Amino acid sequence: MSQITPLDRFRVPLGGQEIELQQHVHDAGGMSLLRTRIREGSRFTIFDIDPQTAEHWGRALLQWAREQPGQPEAS
């Protein structure tokens, strides 16, 4: 049996998708992954990523967000 810990849940303002982030630890190997669940109506997209991929993805998201017009400068 795996251990799943909720981390965050939010709704996208445009489109209304519900995004849920969870820590997913496999009992067999103790491997910890970030589970991302995206719900669009009755359809779900679920995928698990490792810490290195999560860090890379997070940096790319932050860089994109900071480059958008009207965003405050990062401190």
**How many residues does the structure list for the chain?**
75
The per-residue pLDDT for 53 is 96
Give how many domains the chain has, as a whole number: 1
In a domain, 38, yes or no: yes
- Residue 36 is part of which domain span? 3-66
The per-residue pLDDT for 74 is 62
Whether residue 42 is predicted with pLDDT greater than 70 in this model: the reply is yes
In a domain, 10, yes or no: yes
- DSSP-assigned states of every residue in 21-54: EEEEE-TTT--EEEEEEEEETTEEEEEEE-HHHH
Task: Return the bridge partners of 49, or none.
Answer: 34
In a domain, 43, yes or no: yes
In a domain, 71, yes or no: no
In a domain, 73, yes or no: no
In a domain, 72, yes or no: no
